[in-house]
Structure 1
Amino acid sequence: MKYDVVVFDVDGTLINTEETILLSLQHMLLRMTGHLYPFEKLYFALGITGAEALRRLELPEPDKAMEMWLAYMGRYEYLQKPFDGIDEIVQWLNAAGVRLGIVTSRTKPEFQKSTAQYNFIKYFDTVINADDTVKHKPEPEPMLCLLEKMAAEPSKVLYIGDSVYDMECARKAGVDGALALWGAHFPEQIHAVHKIANIMDIKSLFI
């Protein structure tokens, strides 16, 4: 078996949170700026920390914007759900003896509030949140932190994510990246060692 450890991103990979994130961001921006941003202008925010997304938007009151964004995110949280097949593939990998980890741009409170509730999370050995490191994706620090905690060799680790930030984080840490096409935008523009069309296709990397 080439990979001993499989690491997943959360948003857009394990859980379909796109509507929750983009609707809440769009709603906040409408309130803050009076301008209705189309989703296409907000895709950049998928896969990075909320603080970094707001920094790039250059809003004059980032603390107020973050507070409002999180409030709206709670309002739209009912729209999110795990992608079909995630529970099955996580249990399959666990039964195959593969250790599982998570590297996410969510903070610990965000992860606990909206992600830890799902039953399949219990199969993950290690979770690296945004507040576990100083630098965030696409920098390698989150993955390097996970490698240290799991005592894992980079060549034996696969990182499955949906964004260019995930693939760059993996590459810089010496880890193979697999692009989750079920959650990716503009996948033809993203370099990855593997590109996986369907969740259950993950099995093909281990059979």
Structure 2
Amino acid sequence: MYGLDGTVLNTFDMTIFPLMEILKEELDRDMTYDELMHYMSFPGPKSLELLNIKNSPTVYERWVKYVNAYKHGASIYYNFDELIRSLDSKIIQGVVSSKKREQYIMDIKGKKTHDCFSAIVLLEDTQKQKPDAEPLLHCAKILNVAPENCLYVGDSLSDFESANKAKMDFAFASWGSLEPEKFKNTTYTLNYPNDLLDVIF
């Protein structure tokens, strides 16, 4: 199983630059790209809450519109899509993300990874979100694979905590992490997506 943002997809630019606009509109506040990177480890509504933006559900919908209109869109890290396609006939693959389905479709559109996923668990599919175990366990159930036989690849502490609670192995995708120093004791650390091959086989 994979996380998406920070693991498979690089969505920092398309998320942060629109957030700068939101902060200017709502609070007349200027924050730098680096300052806002810290908030990218949280789901969108939580980020707005931490930034003291009121009426966050309405503002979140506007932020999503700005993100969707960002001309460069999301990109794939290090040809991760090629690795996912190469594994399609060898292992069962799934996605667990806190994205809304509409956003998932927009971010993955035109990328040849979607058809490789036998299960896709998104924000609307479970009552609880990461770092709770529910999304990962729900994905395992769809895949018909016991949790202890699953590996979750993610970049954030919420990914790590969710995998631990679900009793799944965890592989740290270091390339997209905002807090790499907190993952020194993980079982598997990946410097590039292809390092996953040494873990699986």
Which amino acid is 1:64 matched to? T
1:136 aligns with 2:129: yes
Task: Please identify, of 115-124 and 196-205, the stretch whose mean Cα deviation from structure 2 is larger.
Answer: 115-124
Counterpart position of 1:70:
64
2-side partners of 1:56 and 1:201: how far apart? 35
Deviation at 1:65, TM superposition (A): 1.5
Higher relative contact order (CA 8 A, sep 6+): 1
Measured against aligned partners, the alpha-carbon deviations of 1:41-89 in whole angstroms (never above 9, x if no partner) come to: 3334324322222233331221331132112212325142111221221
1-side partners of 2:92 and 2:143: how far apart? 9
Q: Evaluate the alpha carbon distance shift between residue 170 and residue 159 of structure 1 in structure 2; reply closer, same or farther with a 3 A threshold.
A: same
TM score, norm. by length of structure 1? 0.89
1:45 aligns with 2:39: yes
Counterpart position of 1:12:
6
Kept after mapping to 2: 8 A contact 1:48/1:136: no
Aligned-pair identity (%): 25
Structure 1 residue runs of 4 or more that deviate by more than 3 Å after TM superposition: none
1-side partners of 2:45 and 2:68: how far apart? 17
Partner SS state of residue 85, structure 1: helix
Deviation at 1:117, TM superposition (A): 3.4
1-side partners of 2:176 and 2:122: how far apart? 20
Kept after mapping to 1: 8 A contact 2:38/2:178: no
Counterpart position of 2:157:
164
2-side partners of 1:42 and 1:153: how far apart? 38
Partner SS state of residue 151, structure 2: strand
* Match for residue 28 of structure 1 among 4, 16, 22: 22
Deviation at 1:119, TM superposition (A): 1.2
2-side partners of 1:56 and 1:131: how far apart? 22
Partner SS state of residue 78, structure 2: coil
2-side partners of 1:38 and 1:148: how far apart? 42
TM score, norm. by length of structure 2? 0.91
Counterpart position of 2:81:
87
Partner SS state of residue 46, structure 1: helix
- RMSD between superposed Cα atoms in Å: 1.7
Q: Which runs of 5+ in 2 are unaligned?
A: none
Counterpart position of 2:112:
119
Deviation at 1:21, TM superposition (A): 1.1
2-side partners of 1:94 and 1:156: how far apart? 17
The number of residues matched between the two structures is 200
Partner SS state of residue 152, structure 2: strand
Which amino acid is 1:42 matched to? L
2-side partners of 1:26 and 1:138: how far apart? 26
Kept after mapping to 2: 8 A contact 1:47/1:166: no
1:106 aligns with 2:99: yes
Q: Which runs of 5+ in 1 are unaligned?
A: 1-6
Kept after mapping to 2: 8 A contact 1:105/1:129: yes
Partner SS state of residue 94, structure 2: strand
Deviation at 1:143, TM superposition (A): 0.5
Kept after mapping to 2: 8 A contact 1:15/1:82: yes
Task: Please identify, of 133-142 and 52-61, the stretch whose mean Cα deviation from structure 2 is larger.
Answer: 52-61
Counterpart position of 1:149:
142
